[in-house]
Amino acid sequence: MEPFRVTILGSGSALPTKDNFHASQVLELRGRRYMIDCGEGTQIKMGQYKVNVSRLNNIFISHLHSDHCIGLAGLISTMAMLGRSEPLSIYAYKDLKNILLPTLDYFTDDDSFEVIFHDINPKKKEIVYEDKALTVSTIPLKHRVPTCGFLFEERQGERHLIKQMIEAFDIPIRELKAIKQGADFVDKDGFVVKNERLTTPADVPRRYAYISDTLYTESIIPQIEGVDCLFHEATFLEQDHRRAKETLHSTAIQAAQIAKKAKVKKLVIGHYSARYRQHKPFLDEARSVFENTVLAEDGLIFEL
């Protein structure tokens, strides 16, 4: 199975600290990279954690609070300085292009690579991106500005060839593509070898859900049910649950309640308020509800 890797670049919230930068993550699957959110310092963290900017062609922005998007101008201007030529697509609420374009126009050369803005409607559940490796859908959230999470769903892969059987039936290479896609093999005498004798089933597609800033909301559960890994914001501890409600954020316990109700396999929490020096209490509170929880910290890498 090919790795489906997530690197946490920033695990902090509005006020970045030296250990917890603004929000950003990079997913890697089948040789492609996808960025989710791009707060201040994202490019610094990419360098620090050796996440290459090549093959990063798509960036998904959950909402237009600065801790989720203010790093774009810096990242894009660095890409231009490095001589990038491929276009870069950014998926975000429509206002982003009005905010970012004047900055990019001022600082980057006319012959720089193209930045393509794709407007998304954070209130609607829809597929906003697809390629050979995966699809990306929006998950509407409840926050102070239009906000959505993202569901990354791996596409069904091909069946696995059983090498000894392929050799035993002396199957030509040109037939292998169709066999990996489920075809039987028919030899020149019309003898049929059933696909099940030649292959084993494809890997089960993996799913990663990213829940950005939000008030506790069970409306997301049907979309994230049973995902391999759920990232859910946990800005506050239980002692500050009123503050969470006022600012339309979640607590660690609420993130864990969502994970439990949605029967996800693993929960990663982050987006901690800078008011807390220690993150262990976040883990303790979340694990009291959902055992398989880990803390996002800058530089955390995990695979699905």
Interface residues toward Zn ion, by CB under 5 A: 13, 65, 67, 213
- Which residue lies nearer to Zn ion by CB, 28 or 67? 67
Min separation Cβ 175 and Zn ion, Å = 52
Cα angle vertex 271, ends 269, 277, to 5°?
95
What residues act catalytically?
Answer: 67
Give the Cα separation of 51 and 78 in Å (integer).
14
Q: For residue 124, which of 134, 139, 111, 112 has the smallest C-alpha distance?
A: 139
Min separation Cβ 63 and Zn ion, Å = 6
Give the Cα separation of 256 and 293 in Å (integer).
8
- Which residue lies nearer to Zn ion by CB, 28 or 233? 233
Give the Cα separation of 74 and 258 in Å (integer).
35
- Which residue lies nearer to Zn ion by CB, 65 or 232? 65
Cα angle vertex 140, ends 88, 291, to 5°?
100
Strands (E), 198-295: 199-200, 207-211, 229-233, 267-270, 293-295
- Which residue lies nearer to Zn ion by CB, 89 or 247? 247
CB 120 within 8 A of CB 128: yes
50: alpha, beta or left? (left if phi > 0; alpha if psi -120 to 50): left
Min separation Cβ 213 and Zn ion, Å = 4
Min separation Cβ 184 and Zn ion, Å = 53
- Which residue lies nearer to Zn ion by CB, 143 or 206? 143
Min separation Cβ 246 and Zn ion, Å = 13
For 71, the token pair is: 């790093």
